[in-house]
Amino acid sequence: MDDAAASLARPTDQVLTEIARYVYRYEIKSPLAMERARTALLDALGCAMETLSSGDCPSFIGPFVPGCKTQNGFRLPGTVFDLDPVKGAFDMAVLIRYLDHNDAFTGAEWGHPSDNIGSILAVADWLSRNPAETSDTTPPPTIQTVLIALVKAYEIQGCFQISNAFNSVGLDHVILVKVASAAVISWLLGLSESQAVDAISQAWMDGHPLRVYRHGQNTGPRKGWAGGDACMRAVQLALLTRSGQPGALTVLSAPRWGFYDAIFGGKTFNLPRSFNTWVVENTLFKLTPAEAHSLTAMEAMLKLGRILKEQAVDLHHDIGRITVRTHAAACLIIDKSGPLKNAADRDHCMQYILAVTLLKGAQPDSHDFSDASPWASDPRVDYLREKIEIFECEQYTLDYLNEEKRSLASALTVVFANGSPTEEVAVEYPLGSPKHPGTKKAVEAKIHRNLGLIFSRGEVEHIVATVATKAKTTMVHDFVDILWRGNSS
252 and 321 co-located in one domain: no
302 and 266 co-located in one domain: no
Per residue in 223-240, pLDDT tens?
Answer: 999 999 999 999 999 999
Domain boundary among 281, 308, 332: 281
CA distance linking residue 391 with residue 1, whole number of Å:
51
Examine residue 47 and state whether it is found in any structural domain, yes or no.
yes
pLDDT at 488 (0 to 100): 59
Say if CB 368 and CB 356 are below 8 A apart.
Answer: yes
Say if CB 445 and CB 432 are below 8 A apart.
Answer: no
pLDDT tops 60 at residue 43: yes
CA distance linking residue 10 with residue 296, whole number of Å:
47
CA distance linking residue 175 with residue 180, whole number of Å:
9
Q: What is the Cα 192 distance to its own chain's centre? A: 28
212 and 301 co-located in one domain: no
Phi, psi of 173 (to 5 degrees): -65, -15
CA distance linking residue 130 with residue 133, whole number of Å:
6
Judged by DSSP in three states, 142 sits in strand
263 and 315 co-located in one domain: no
What is the domain-level CATH number for residue 390?
3.30.1330.120
CA distance linking residue 119 with residue 181, whole number of Å:
7
Examine residue 228 and state whether it is found in any structural domain, yes or no.
yes
Domain boundary among 398, 427, 456: 427
- ∠ CA 311-315-319, rounded to 5°: 90
pLDDT tops 60 at residue 3: no
118 band by pLDDT with thresholds 50, 70 and 90: very high
Examine residue 458 and state whether it is found in any structural domain, yes or no.
no
Per residue in 286-308, pLDDT tens?
Answer: 999 999 999 999 999 999 999 99
pLDDT at 487 (0 to 100): 79
Q: How many residues does the chain have?
A: 489
| Beta-carbon contacts of residue 114 (< 8 Å; ≥ 6 apart) | 40, 43, 44, 47, 96, 97, 102, 103
Examine residue 445 and state whether it is found in any structural domain, yes or no.
no
Query: What amino acid occupies position 105?
Result: F
CA distance linking residue 72 with residue 467, whole number of Å:
23
Per residue in 407-418, pLDDT tens?
Answer: 999 999 999 999
State the SS3 of 101-112: CCCEECCCCCEC
Mean pLDDT within 332-346: 93
276 and 303 co-located in one domain: no
11 and 72 co-located in one domain: yes
Cβ count near 133 (within 10 Å): 17
Examine residue 475 and state whether it is found in any structural domain, yes or no.
no
pLDDT tops 60 at residue 336: yes
> What is the sign of the dihedral through the CA atoms of 456, 457, 462 and 468?
positive
Domain boundary among 281, 311, 330: 281
The average confidence (pLDDT) of the chain is 95
Examine residue 453 and state whether it is found in any structural domain, yes or no.
no
Cβ-based burial of 389 (10 A; exposed 0-12, middle 13-18, buried ≥19): middle
What is the domain-level CATH number for residue 120?
1.10.4100.10
275 and 296 co-located in one domain: no
pLDDT tops 60 at residue 138: yes
Examine residue 446 and state whether it is found in any structural domain, yes or no.
no
DSSP string of 411-477, one letter each residue: EEEEEETTSPBPPPEEESS-BTBTTSTTHHHHHHHHHHHHHTTTS-HHHHHHHHHHHHH-TTT-BHH
Mean pLDDT within 462-475: 98
| Beta-carbon contacts of residue 381 (< 8 Å; ≥ 6 apart) | 352, 355, 356, 359, 375
pLDDT tops 80 at residue 385: yes
Q: Nearest CA to 12 among 253, 266, 203? A: 253
Instruction: Give the structural domain span for 226.
Output: 3-281
246 and 330 co-located in one domain: no
218 and 320 co-located in one domain: no
270 and 327 co-located in one domain: no
| Beta-carbon contacts of residue 111 (< 8 Å; ≥ 6 apart) | 104, 105, 157, 158, 161, 173, 174, 176, 177
Examine residue 236 and state whether it is found in any structural domain, yes or no.
yes
pLDDT tops 60 at residue 489: no
Domain total for the chain? 2
Judged by DSSP in three states, 148 sits in helix
pLDDT tops 50 at residue 6: no
pLDDT tops 80 at residue 2: no
199 and 297 co-located in one domain: no
- Listed in order, strand segments (DSSP E) in 23-92 are 74-75, 82-83
Say if CB 50 and CB 453 are below 8 A apart.
Answer: yes
310 and 202 co-located in one domain: no
Residue 326 host element (H or E) = strand 319-326
Ramachandran category for residue 170: left, alpha or beta (phi over 0 → left; psi -120 to 50 → alpha) = left
